[in-house]
Amino acid sequence: MSEVLARTKGTGEMMDKQEEITQERIKRFWEWCGFKCIEGDYHHGREWRYPNGEPCYVSWAGSFTDTPPIDLNSLFKHATDDITEINIMYSSNCVSIDIEHKNGNFYEGHANAESSKEAKEKTAEALFLALEKVMEEGK
């Protein structure tokens, strides 16, 4: 997973450092969305299950052990039920997403890019970051 721009909490000012989306953050996010990670034994390993209990054995993973991908299809299907509005803005070196939650609060996510083409490719990362802020506020 690539690195993304971080914002100073509460100020909206860009920070100089880059923040990496780690596997731990992805795992915590999908668990918040209702997915379950079941740790197995030596023979079975861990297994991801959809919120309805079905195993997540699909083409993205090729196995039960991988989390759902951070892509637009997965995010819109499993993580946006409570989002009432999404605004996407592209620039030559960034994609910014503002979302409105049904509680009336707004959240933003930003992904840094080298070009406008790359910015469009990082839309899912920016959406993930905005949704992750919804998750963090809900704790």
Same domain, 76 and 102: yes
Instruction: Give residue 87's pLDDT.
Output: 96
Residues 45 and 84 in one domain: no
∠ CA 103-107-110, rounded to 5°? 160
Q: Are residues 101 and 81 in the same domain?
A: yes
Task: State whether the Cα torsion 73-81-106-12 is positive or negative.
Answer: negative
Same domain (yes/no): 124, 81? yes
pLDDT digits (tens, 9 = 90+) for 36-88: 887 765 556 677 788 888 877 554 444 555 677 889 999 999 999 999 999 99
Percent of the chain with pLDDT over 70: 74
DSSP string, 30-99: HHHTT-EEE---TTT--EEE-TTS-B--STTTSSSSSPPPSSHHHHHHHS-TTEEEEEEEE-SSEEEEEE
Q: What's the pLDDT at 9?
A: 38
* Domain's final residue, options 68, 96, 126: 68
Residue 52 sits in the same domain as residue 90: no
Does one domain contain both 88 and 137? yes
Q: Are residues 27 and 91 in the same domain?
A: no
Mean pLDDT taken over the chain:
79
Q: Do 15 and 78 lie in a common domain?
A: yes
Task: Tell whether 48 and 77 lie within a shared domain.
Answer: no
In 3D space, the residue among 2, 129, 128, 5 whose CA is nearest the CA of residue 72 turns out to be 128
Q: What is the number of structural domains in the chain?
A: 2
Query: Residue 13 has what pLDDT?
Result: 43
Q: How confident is the model at residue 129 (pLDDT cuts 50, 70, 90)?
A: very high
User: Containing domain of residue 109, as a range?
Assistant: 1-21+70-139
Q: Are residues 13 and 37 in the same domain?
A: no
For residue 5, pLDDT beyond 80: no
- On whether the pTM is more than 0.85, the answer is no
